[in-house]
Structure 1
Amino acid sequence: MEDGLVSEDDILLWSEKELHDAAKRNDTEKIKELIKKGVDVKAKNKVDRKALHWAAGAGCEQALRLLLVHDTEVDETDSFGMNALLLASWFGHLKILQVLVSCGAKLNCKNKDGLSMLHCAAQRGHINLLEFIMEDLEDICLDRVDKSGKAALHLAAEHGQPKVVEFLIGMGCTHGLKDKEENTALHLAARSGHTDVLQKIIETGINIDERNLDGLTALHLAASGGHYECVKLLLESGCNVNAQTSNNMSALHYVAQHGFEREASLLLEAGINIDAVNNQHNTALHLAVFSNHTEVVRLLVDADCDLDITDSRQQTALHIAAEHGWQDTAEMMLISEVNLSLTDKQGKTCLEVAARGNHVILVDMIIKADRFYKWEKDHMGGEQNTWVGRPLSFKQDHQAETQHLRSVLWRLASKHLCRGEWKILAQHWDFSDAHIRAIEQQWTDMKSFKEHGHRMLLIWLHGVVVAGENPIKGLYEGLVEISRTDLAECIRQKANAETSSPKMCSAM
């Protein structure tokens, strides 16, 4: 076969490619055959890698020794700055490393990222190579750093090499050395979630609350990564649970932002400040709601966080839920009695924000909650925990007990109430102007008033059922009040005619 290029995007001849492949599989006979034919032993592929590199990286000792007879340029690097010595260190081939050292390979070499053979062996967890490097070679600096400022301890910690970390600590490396981002090995172990490594570094007595360039402690990094065991270990080791970063972010902010429930529980149990605000004046609740992490929101609400804190846009967490139409998160806050009168920088309440976004169901939920708060204040006085243990929801009603009555209200709104009458009825039932405007903001067509009336009636029904009042009586009185006695009598007759119905009885 003609000895042409391997492919259009390669620069090796076929015979040179055969030499590289033979070096990879330690095929000394093939190597001898190709050398005898005059194949260039120093031929490089498109990443400047030659046969010697392949033999070193693959741990092929016989091939390496044979190639060294014909290629003495042992320190030559590929396009990544990796020479035979560094490749042997990276892939953990002790015998190859020893052969190269005996052939005079430079011990202080480094690749384009500044990694030395010590760095390579430490990052990859080759403890036997490290023992050889530190015990048999001279002038090896244990704390030498790469281009990012990382020493061997940093790399071993970051990549989860506990035996290497233990070895380096035993050899006397500097425990608190910082990289260019001012991370210690403790930071990197926490960020990567390596609990066993973290434990060994903590045992050195290093400052557990040391901050990096952005003011993050190991706890912040462990929390941000959702590393439960690391968070637990740091808390048990006495770290400052309330430490804040340069942006005033606490560990709770990070777990809320990412939706890490278990880690949030740990931090809350440790007594973290639940209402701490960052530089945008966001609490953990703001961030959890913004990302719609419902379970974290539930944890925060159950832990009695302050629902009324406003962020830099003067928005409460409920404003954010209203803006996005998130019903589940909104429900939790509404049940816990959030302040519905607070306005954002545009002067909008959460009700107005929900209406502007056409989040119809959420609009109705907020109105139900607002009416419930007023009813509770009027009828329960200053009693606390009135509704503890009792089911309360502001979502759409799908209960079988109210199905018949809901059908009656739908027919009333869609068939009988005239334009504008629903508003008069709403005013009679103490719906505020803001409530009516929010309902009216939904627009479908010229008959939107029918849908508006239906929504208002269902909101009213919610309040009546919660209060334990008779809905038929209330509806009758309301219709009489707006001079629709005909409808009132019709409703009463229908109710009386169906009192034998179990559903009707339970609804009434």
Structure 2
Amino acid sequence: MQEELAWATDGLLPLERQLHEAARQNNVGRMQELIGRRVNTRARNHVGRVALHWAAGAGHEQAVRLLLEHEAAVDEEDAEGNTALHLAAGRGHMAVLQRLVDIGLDLEEQNVEGLTALHAAAGGSHPDCVQLLLRAGSTVNALTQGLGGGAKPTVTAFPTGRWTESHTPQKNLSCLHYAALSGSEDVSRVLIHAGGCTNVVDHQGASPLHLAVRHNFPALVRLLINSDSDLNTMDNRQQTPLHLAAEHAWQDIAEMLLIAGVDLNLRDKQGKTALAVAARSNHVSLVDMIIKADRFYRWEKDHPSDLSGKSLSFKQDHRQETQQLRSVLWRLASRYLQPREWKKLAYSWEFTEAHVYAIEQQWTGTRSYQEHGHRMLLIWLHGMATAGENPSKALFEGLVAIGRRDLAGKSVFCWASSQELGGPHWNAAGLSKGCSDKNAVMLALGLPDSYP
């Protein structure tokens, strides 16, 4: 119902129209005068609104009190089933809501969309109203029982501006679903503290976490993750929250989910994992993040306590301490590795077929292999850093394993001793003298002198 259309006073007598206008404007003096002339306080306009609807929806406590004192029908519903309680809750008018609650109204009364006043307060992002209604006995896990996809939201009940046709209320939405749709972290926290179920799903199989991810509310996603939401729950399309993050390229949210630990093997109805979804959508950074996470999960199984107290990130590495080595890896990928050699190197480091396929889906031309190889090397470096291993030694061994002994025995050493890779780690081994000192190079790489 559009507010302007709802305000139209069709169907009212002249004095009744004036009473509606006075209630809407909190003109208590004029209201008293009209009521003294026995104007009908229950007169309804063409959409079922009475004067109390306007007073409550506008938060005019004086006007509401006056109407209640003169036997206004407190449970009167407009054409969409909204009572004054719905309107006050949806607009966050605490004083009016308290007065309506105090007279003992039915807190579980539903409008035509199946929404209670608690749904309205949650959807309107009003934590104080939510707390008031919960203390008064509203059911925190109540589900809507409305008309479903054909119903449209009432603007007056949900004035946040987030409600569009794509947000049309559906069946079986809990109050926490409505808080998630409006992106309200505060309301969600109140509902969860009161026992709101984080894993309830609507008729489309979507949990509050699905909705928070889909509409890109990172703070709310974090709250739901920390509140033991099921990270791997699937909606009716068999999409997990990570599938949605991958589809929309929400990197911050994706990292939260990946750090929390999700099942990367789950497939949607099209048979695609979250990695495949990101690759298909050409979200390069997300592809690399998911591969890093997958490799980390595999490593973590054998090293469950090695990261205690350490921070974890799957985003692109911009740290100063890795800048020189990252530069060397770019030179390796762009100048020295042949088109298929990056794949050989990837497989020698236990990248999976799915990893390699996801990387090479981002085609940029005949020299794409250079970018592919560089991305693979940066993903590999992330794993080395996470595990606290010597990347130089692993790179040396990897190049030897794919038959590039020339790079392993010469180029890597020269890069290691170059000014580009100068620094405490290399200079301590005496490599500032150049790459001719093989024994010093071996020592820096942690390799035996006899290594071929």
Query: TM-score of the superposition, structure 1-length normalised?
Result: 0.74
1:446 aligns with 2:366: yes
Q: Cα distance 1:159–1:504, how it changes in 2: closer, same or farther (>3 A)?
A: farther
Amino acid at match of 1:427: Y
Matching residue of 1:215: 114
CA-atom RMSD, angstroms?
2.3
The within-5 A match list for 1:67-146 is: 109-110=13-14, 115-134=16-35, 136-138=36-38, 140-146=39-45
CA offsets 1:150-202 (integer angstroms, 9 cap, x no match): 22222211122111111222223232222221211100111222111111100
Q: Cα distance 1:303–1:422, how it changes in 2: closer, same or farther (>3 A)?
A: same
1:325 aligns with 2:249: yes
Matching residue of 1:197: 96
Q: Cα distance 1:389–1:256, how it changes in 2: closer, same or farther (>3 A)?
A: farther
In structure 1, runs of 5+ residues without a counterpart are 1-79, 87-107
- What is the CA-CA distance between 1:263 and the residue it aligns to? 2.0
The within-5 A match list for 1:26-425 is: 109-110=13-14, 115-134=16-35, 136-138=36-38, 140-246=39-145, 247-380=171-304, 387=307, 389-425=309-345
Q: Cα distance 1:374–1:81, how it changes in 2: closer, same or farther (>3 A)?
A: closer
Task: Check the 8 A contact 1:122/1:153 in 2, yes or no.
Answer: yes
Q: Cα distance 1:361–1:126, how it changes in 2: closer, same or farther (>3 A)?
A: same
SS at match of 1:331: helix
- What is the CA-CA distance between 1:387 and the residue it aligns to? 4.4
The within-5 A match list for 1:454-493 is: 454-490=374-410, 491-492=412-413
Task: Write the distance in 2 (CA, Å) between the matches of 1:213 and 1:389.
Answer: 52
Task: Write the distance in 1 (CA, Å) between the matches of 2:17 and 2:318.
Answer: 68
Task: Write the distance in 1 (CA, Å) between the matches of 2:94 and 2:282.
Answer: 48
Task: Write the distance in 2 (CA, Å) between the matches of 1:464 and 1:81.
Answer: 71
Task: Check the 8 A contact 1:81/1:110 in 2, yes or no.
Answer: no
Task: Write the distance in 2 (CA, Å) between the matches of 1:119 and 1:162.
Answer: 15
Task: Write the distance in 1 (CA, Å) between the matches of 2:9 and 2:418.
Answer: 92
Task: Check the 8 A contact 1:472/1:492 in 2, yes or no.
Answer: no
The within-5 A match list for 1:10-25 is: none
Amino acid at match of 2:26: G
- What is the CA-CA distance between 1:143 and the residue it aligns to? 2.3
- What is the CA-CA distance between 1:358 and the residue it aligns to? 0.7
Moved more, 451-460 or 242-251: 242-251
Q: Which has the higher contact order (CA 8 A, sep 6+)?
A: 2
Amino acid at match of 2:37: L
SS at match of 2:303: helix
Q: Cα distance 1:500–1:409, how it changes in 2: closer, same or farther (>3 A)?
A: closer
Task: Write the distance in 2 (CA, Å) between the matches of 1:427 and 1:353.
Answer: 22
Larger-gyration structure (1/2):
1
Task: Check the 8 A contact 1:371/1:463 in 2, yes or no.
Answer: yes
- What is the CA-CA distance between 1:203 and the residue it aligns to? 0.6
Task: Write the distance in 2 (CA, Å) between the matches of 1:477 and 1:121.
Answer: 84
Query: TM-score of the superposition, structure 2-length normalised?
Result: 0.82
- What is the CA-CA distance between 1:219 and the residue it aligns to? 1.3
Task: Write the distance in 2 (CA, Å) between the matches of 1:250 and 1:312.
Answer: 17
Moved more, 328-337 or 278-287: 278-287
Amino acid at match of 2:367: K
Amino acid at match of 1:502: P
Task: Check the 8 A contact 2:238/2:269 in 1, yes or no.
Answer: yes
- What is the CA-CA distance between 1:445 and the residue it aligns to? 0.9
Task: Write the distance in 2 (CA, Å) between the matches of 1:230 and 1:290.
Answer: 26
The within-5 A match list for 1:492-507 is: 492=413, 494-495=415-416, 501-502=423-424
- What is the CA-CA distance between 1:500 and the residue it aligns to? 6.6
Task: Check the 8 A contact 1:175/1:204 in 2, yes or no.
Answer: no
- What is the CA-CA distance between 1:255 and the residue it aligns to? 2.2
Task: Check the 8 A contact 2:417/2:426 in 1, yes or no.
Answer: no
Task: Write the distance in 2 (CA, Å) between the matches of 1:378 and 1:81.
Answer: 72
- What is the CA-CA distance between 1:504 and the residue it aligns to? 5.1
Matching residue of 1:30: none
The within-5 A match list for 1:426-445 is: 426-445=346-365
Task: Write the distance in 2 (CA, Å) between the matches of 1:193 and 1:387.
Answer: 45
Task: Check the 8 A contact 2:416/2:422 in 1, yes or no.
Answer: no
Q: Cα distance 1:364–1:504, how it changes in 2: closer, same or farther (>3 A)?
A: farther
CA offsets 1:272-330 (integer angstroms, 9 cap, x no match): 11111111111111111111111111211222211111112111111111112121110
| Alignment length (residue pairs) | 396
